[in-house]
Chains A and B, each alone.
Chain A
Amino acid sequence: MELSKCSLDMLRTLGLKSVEELFSDIPEDVRTGGLKLPDGMSELELRRELGAILSSNKTATSHPNFLGAGVYNHFIPAAVKSIVGRSEFLTSYTPYQPEISQGMLQSLFEYQSFMTELTAVDVVNCSMYDASTALGEAVLMANRISGGSRFLVSRAVSPEKKAVARTYAKGADIKIAEVKFEPETGLVDLEDLKQKTVDGVCGFYFETPNFFGPIETKWDEIRQVLGERTMVVGTNPMSLALLRPPGEMGADIVVGDAQVFGTPMSLGGPTIGVFGCKSEHVRKMPGRLIGMTSDLDGERAYCMTLQTREQHIRRSKATSNICTNEALLALAAAAYLAVVGRNGLRTIAAKNVENMTALSSRIAKIKGYRSPRFKAAHFNEFVVESELSSGKIHKELLNKGIQGGYVLDQDFQDLKNSTLYATTEMHTRADHDKLVSALEELT
């Protein structure tokens, strides 16, 4: 390494002749002698090379994309991007010194406040990694609350989330069993739930809207079947602009993903796990919490609190190992909700429902398609069943420059020839036209 004058000065201060002497404590038998990586490049060269590699990606901007299944394409106002890009926020660490970090702390408190309003549970933490890991943690927390070693998950949950839940459950030796959905409505099959809610079951996870789009209606019955067991509800927080919130319906824990509020899809990451619960469970909760307090002068102030639940204090007895979370995305969600506001949010949510209804009914009119496959109210996602194989439809759409929905057959054998479509406010009438005429041409 060629040394700058300052570096040479520093070495001299240390009484050393070369930088290599600073590494004299690394024994020879573990030395590697440099990295076999290409030489560095300038910013301009990087832009060229990276731009060229990434240009082969087909984006939702240039190719109509009807995928959802947990990650959604929503509009992000310029003001949100501007706020999230403030480098005082972007380049700060976890606010361990609250006096100098009030900006991020208050923003996170506001995120918690927004999510508390939307979900109507008592407490929402300031983020988990994503919805799937939030579910994984909820399984562990249900076990801490209700103390059984079995956990039930609705079948109408994405395979990705179920896979993550299984991984987390395995670590705690919790067995996961699935609860059927009603073939007609896609909603929780109460009879199956009753049958499977046996001794040792600590909780049940279901979603509204669920993976297939239907909005759950049988809250009271589910709550009743579960009794003292932990009710864990997954939701798309944007739908809560219009729908009854899980906290009002007796949920003990609410999970979801707030990517829908101001974070781009970015191939599914980062997104932001929402995690909320009733206040009686707060000490069993994973993740950071921001609380309001005051300073020496009596001024209102914010800081991280109830940290005795966390790994840096409690180590192996912590409620979770989580440390780094998705704070910047919580800021994005708070900024998004503030920018669009109450009525703006409801209008956006309404547009999603309108687009879903419009697209589904247009597809239903095409011969050979049944849409929506499930008889229920939907938010912005729905299942289409067809006479053709969904794999074939997917390929044909792709040939026409359209990314169709998520093919369900691979994970749900009873949903033959079925595809999950999502549509948001980002789709124009022309996008719908393109999909509908492509589907028409297929039959």
Chain B
Amino acid sequence: MRYHQAVHDVPTLFENCEKPVPEKGFDPTIGGALPKELLRAELNIPDLPERDVVKHFVNLSQMNFGVDNGLYPLGSCTMKYNPKICDEVVSWDSVANIHPLQDTSTIQGALRIMYELERMLCEIGGVDSVTLQPAAGAHGEYTGMQMVRAYHELRGEVRNEIVLPDTAHGTNPASAAMVGYDVLELPSKEGCVDVEALKAAVSRDTAAFMLTNPNTLGLFEKDVKEIAGILHDAGALLYYDGANLNAIMGKTSPGRMDFDIVHFNLHKTFATPHGGGGPGAGPVGVKKKLEEFLPIPRIVHHSSQYGLDSNRPNSIGKVRAFFGNFAVLVRAYAYIKMQGGNGLESVSENAVLNSNYLKHNLKGTFELPYDDLRKHEFVLSGRPLKSKGLRTMDFAKRLLDYGFHAPTVYFPLIVEEAIMIEPTETESKDTLDRFIEACKTIANEDPELLHNAPHNTARRRLDEAKAARDMVFSWRAYEKKRADRSAAKA
């Protein structure tokens, strides 16, 4: 197995030898339109030939690893291959060059796509209505929590607490807190929700329970109906974090499991590329009883015309300007259309098959807490590495040397030295076998090799503490630091 990432010397764009020369004969007042006292004195950004700029970024791209380069088994992130057609359609004039405030008669096609996407997500999620406005999964959670609050407020109830399991994604408690809720984290039992503990924790103060199913250990929460009953009997709501939806499409749905609110991560389940951190999209679906709280405007369809309805007095308002991340929505629409209903079910089947195949082949090499059937992802413990003075992070870094992105590590928090692996459905058996082989090889390698890994990437192990200490967030800050240092020397 051979892998070596490209290494280029790429100075920042700000380090070219020539300082930009202010343009000759340029009138910064633009014929007196801008008063002199409003003008800036200097603008220190470079002027480079296009040729050099393209070289700069192409070389940088070669020092970056994407799904298109190889396996990217980040648990809970669902890094699957993104069909190229989806990127192409969003470059069309009819997608790229329309303005959100255009008269609705001139954006009928766009409104129809969104309307139909909402309907398709309703079917997949088992919900009655969907909003496409949230820009990301966490933003969807935030939207959901706002609706939880609005729901209870309209009923004249004061409920201050959101309950969630200790395996929850970090965004769950953060989203709840942003809407003003106290957060109660519930210890898990055998990797799943401890139903008795939940019963004891739920009270008149519980606004909602947040859960992802399968959970972040890849285990299906079999007691989900009972859990829903406990919450609903207490007058609370059940929120579904859709990060793990890739495991269950066509088999079950959040709605069928009695969840009231669900967010979808289009950049995970529906193959829209993640772009190095975003954009994503986090549509939110709800059951009928929460429909009135959805963000405005709602897209409506009357007598073959699509329109907008903002006359929703109980709506939580807006969570983002305009309609959400439209270009991401169009990609997901294209993906769902190409897969079809049966195709999406196959997606989940293959995702789960791949995950269990990896789990089966790796559990002997590492520890597998809670040995059981997994869904689309599973969590190993890197504890056996400790006897050699190594940690999970060393293993993760060494995987990079084999041309595999590392899994998610140290999450969920309840597994010591966690290694969270999600292969997705788009990886072949051949790729999975090579990954298994690499993991087994690494487990028997000289600990020094791991300790100093990675070796074959553009950079060796980073000093992350130095980044936090130095706080150099821009070229300007770097130059200032350098000037301060030389002044101190002098």
Contact = CB atoms under 8 A, between A and B. Distances in A.
A289 B458 contact: no
B6 to A, nearest CB: 9
B317 A166 contact: yes
Contacts of A34: 250, 341-342, 345
B135 A10 contact: no
B460 A292 contact: no
A88 interface: yes
B211 to A, nearest CB: 13
Contact of A323 (B171, B251, B317): B171
B12 interface: yes
Interface in A136-163: 140, 158, 160-161, 163
A195 interface: no
Contact of B460 (A296, A303, A311): A296
A172 interface: yes
B67 A268 contact: no
A230 interface: no
B438 interface: no
A342 B478 contact: no
Given A89-B66, A107-B57, A240-B40, A296 B174 contact: no
B353 A60 contact: no
B207 interface: no
B52 to A, nearest CB: 9
A185 interface: no
B471 interface: yes
B120 A57 contact: no
Contact of B99 (A65, A103, A296): A65
B463 A295 contact: yes
Nearest to A39: B340
B106 A398 contact: yes
The 8 closest A-B pairs by CB, nearest first: A328-B275, A40-B340, A103-B64, A268-B100, A327-B277, A268-B322, A91-B66, A37-B341
Contacts of B396: 97
B356 interface: yes
Interface stretch (A199-207, A332-340, A433-441): A332-340
Nearest to A135: B321
A65 to B, nearest CB: 6
Contact of A215 (B38, B48, B82, B251): B38
11 contacts: A42-B338, A62-B93, A99-B457, A170-B146, A242-B34, A266-B326, A321-B141, A324-B136, A324-B279, A327-B276, A346-B23
Contacts of A296: 452, 460-463
A335 B169 CA distance: 33
Nearest to A160: B321
B473 A297 contact: no
Interface string B175-198: 111111001010000000000000
Residue in A46, A47, A124 whose Cβ sees the most chain B Cβ within 10 Å: A46
Residue in B14, B107, B352, B473 whose Cβ sees the most chain A Cβ within 10 Å: B473
B344 A35 contact: yes
Given A89-B276, A242-B34, A10 B353 contact: yes
A331 B28 contact: no
B68 interface: yes
A133 to B, nearest CB: 6
A233 B25 CA distance: 32
Contacts of A173: 180
Nearest to A94: B277
B463 to A, nearest CB: 5
A305 B463 CA distance: 11
A117 B253 CA distance: 48
Contact of B253 (A32, A270, A315, A341): A32
Contact of A22 (B170, B349, B459): B349
Interface in B54-107: 54, 56-69, 72, 74, 77, 79, 81-83, 85, 87, 89-103, 105-107
Residue in B57, B65, B176, B346 whose Cβ sees the most chain A Cβ within 10 Å: B57
Nearest to A357: B33
B47 interface: yes
A316 B408 CA distance: 21
A55 B108 CA distance: 9
A35 B341 contact: yes
B278 A325 contact: yes
A99 B462 contact: yes
Given A46-B337, A328-B273, 10 more contacts: A37-B336, A54-B95, A95-B277, A112-B474, A116-B476, A242-B28, A266-B95, A268-B101, A398-B105, A403-B103
A28 B451 CA distance: 48
B176 A316 contact: yes
Contacts of B406: 96-97
Contact of A32 (B250, B336, B349): B250
Contact of A266 (B28, B90, B316, B400): B90
Interface stretch (B109-117, B231-239, B379-387, B442-450): B109-117
Contact of B471 (A63, A124, A282, A321): A282
Contact of B57 (A269, A325, A335, A343): A335
Given A266-B98, A321-B171, A338-B13, A7 B350 contact: yes
A254 interface: no
B67 A9 contact: no
Contacts of B489: none
Interface string B416-457: 000000000000111000000000000000000000101001
A122 B472 CA distance: 10
Interface in A52-101: 53-63, 65, 67, 69-71, 73, 77, 79, 81-83, 85-101
B338 A41 contact: yes
Residue in A26, A67, A245 whose Cβ sees the most chain B Cβ within 10 Å: A26
Nearest to B112: A53
A357 to B, nearest CB: 5
Given A167-B318, A328-B275, A113 B135 contact: no
A406 B103 CA distance: 10
A231 interface: no
B43 A342 contact: yes
A95 B60 CA distance: 14
A57 B171 CA distance: 36
Given A323-B138, A323-B171, A343-B47, A98 B470 contact: no
A414 interface: no
Contact of A328 (B72, B137, B170, B276): B276
B178 A133 contact: no
Contacts of B323: 267-269
Interface in B10-52: 10, 12-14, 20-23, 26-28, 30-31, 33-35, 37-40, 43-48, 50
A291 B472 CA distance: 5
Nearest to A59: B97
B98 A313 contact: no
A7 to B, nearest CB: 6
Contact of A54 (B94, B317, B357): B94
Contact of A67 (B22, B101, B318, B463): B101
B378 to A, nearest CB: 12
A61 B97 CA distance: 7
Interface string B118-146: 00100110100000000111110110011
A267 B179 contact: no
Contacts of B204: none
A326 interface: yes
A294 interface: yes
Contacts of A41: 337-338, 340
A96 B350 contact: no
A383 interface: no
B165 interface: no
Contact of A30 (B28, B175, B225): B225
B60 A103 contact: yes
Contacts of A97: 65, 396-397, 400, 405-406
Contact of B20 (A47, A164, A343): A343
